A and B are shown apart, each in its own frame.
Chain A
Amino acid sequence: MTQVRKKLSRDEMAQKVARDIPEGAYVNLGIGVPTLVANHIGSDKEIILHSENGVIGMGPAPAAGMEDPDLINAGKQYVTLLPGGAFFHHADSFAMMRGGHLDYCVLGAFQVSEKGDLANWHTGAPDAIPAVGGAMDLALGAKKVFVMMDHLTKQGESKIVKACSYPLTGQACVNRIYTDLAMIDVTSDGLVVREIYTDLDFDALVELTGVPMKNGTAA
């Protein structure tokens, strides 16, 4: 099997995502790993963060001792509010997503299919307690849906697949995949590799991934 010697850390992946989110965007970073993107946006860009529990204009974590139990994000972590930020109830919060007002959301994933189907809420294991939260709404609710995930499972299987074996979160909803090995667009013309971050060449990356991809790298 192909040996991967070089790959991005989660923070390096978050940097790539942050780089590609433009000034002025309204963005939801889901929960878990995608929330790292916030740390890499930088002060040169004004980007407005939304969290589905009812806040927009969310700021960074508070200093120790300044936590407010009434000011949390969707991951139930303490956050702050920036000047200009606002609070609203849940139906309004999801109207921001489903009404097409949110520009980007960044989600984690178990699997993404070559058609952009997303599986990220349920492993389908018989003993698992199912929980979906806002994943299905977010997957369909932003103008652009970015996924951030490892390219391979711990067992070395590709998480980019022909068809998802896990229960779906949404059909044909993913626009772009950032992995620790590459950045890949989901297009009407199939998967297109835009950037490669590992020491593998394009052909080796396709072999490792196991689904057809086009070479769209600038080089």
Chain B
Amino acid sequence: MINKIVSSLTEAVADIRDGATVMIGGFGTAGMPSELIDALIDHGARDLTIINNNAGNGETGLAALLKARRVRKIVCSFPRQADSHHFDALYRAGDIELELVPQGNLAERIRAAGAGIGGFFTPTGYGTLLAEGKETREINGRQYVFETPLHADFALIKALAGDRWGNLVYRKTARNFGPIMAMAAKTAIAQVERIVDLGELDPEAIVTPGIFVQRVVAIGAAAKKEAA
């Protein structure tokens, strides 16, 4: 019997090794898998490359991972926010590497990795600092920049509900990077508020089919119920 449900957050992140590339879902704090990130901090892996849209907010989630100095490099589109002070301090001290990627290129590079695409030409960024040194091509009279896929060893994402096959549904704009990060990582780990029986999710409404997901872990009240 296929069962991708793991019983604890600790178990879910246990094999994330030092130096791993880890995608973390979320746009700001919407969709950020904070409980999985806390488990990753406790687990202790360091020298990580993190892929996320932002660079942490306040003191929790990704910000806490940065504060714990576990991140060697971050790939993101928008690190400059009023409450991203842990990233700011690391960046200004030269203690973290930043790869800045336009948001749509970030999303498409992740999607390309998940879809087995070796690269793509995009108009975004042409003629700007963020395309310097990259291959360009004119296609039908328009200028494009060549971008390559972004793969990861792990993806940590947040969904609303999941089943033992790894099928997932999300909640509102918390969906953001979850579906494409699940596709792009070798091991996709989803924290969910609710674990449901197989067949309970409407097949017409499943956003991430379980083939893209390796582990599902319940958080909050759902976790207590699972453990019982």
Contact = CB atoms under 8 A, between A and B. Distances in A.
A70 B107 contact: no
Interface string A102-131: 000000000000000000001000011111
Contact of A94 (B30, B91, B104, B172): B104
Contact of B80 (A55, A94, A98, A131): A131
18 contacts: A53-B27, A53-B173, A69-B29, A70-B172, A70-B173, A76-B27, A87-B172, A89-B176, A89-B207, A91-B111, A93-B107, A94-B104, A129-B80, A133-B102, A134-B77, A134-B102, A136-B104, A168-B129
B48 to A, nearest CB: 20
Given A132-B78, A140-B123, A72 B173 contact: yes
Classify chain A: how many residues form its interface, as a range: 35 or more
Given A129-B91, A133-B77, A89 B178 contact: yes
A122 B128 CA distance: 11
A71 B174 CA distance: 7
A171 B92 CA distance: 30
B88 to A, nearest CB: 6
A160 interface: no
A170 B131 CA distance: 11
Contacts of B103: 52, 90, 94, 132-134, 137
Contacts, number: 134
Interface of B: 27-31, 53, 77-81, 87-88, 91-92, 98, 100-108, 110-111, 122-130, 143, 170-180, 207
Contact of A91 (B87, B110, B171, B173): B110
B129 A54 contact: no
A133 B178 CA distance: 18
Nearest to B123: A140
Contacts of A169: 128
A98 B128 contact: no
A68 B172 contact: yes
Contacts of B207: 89
Interface of A: 51-55, 68-72, 76, 81, 87-91, 93-94, 97-98, 122, 127-137, 140-141, 167-171
Contacts of B31: 70
Question: By CB atoms of chain A within 10 A, which of B81, B125, B128 has the most?
Answer: B128
Given A70-B30, A131-B78, A136-B125, A141 B104 contact: yes
B113 to A, nearest CB: 11
A93 B53 CA distance: 14
Contacts of B101: 132
Contacts of A81: 172
Contact of A70 (B80, B104, B143, B174): B174
B95 to A, nearest CB: 14
B172 A71 contact: yes
B77 A54 contact: no
Nearest to A76: B28
A141 to B, nearest CB: 7
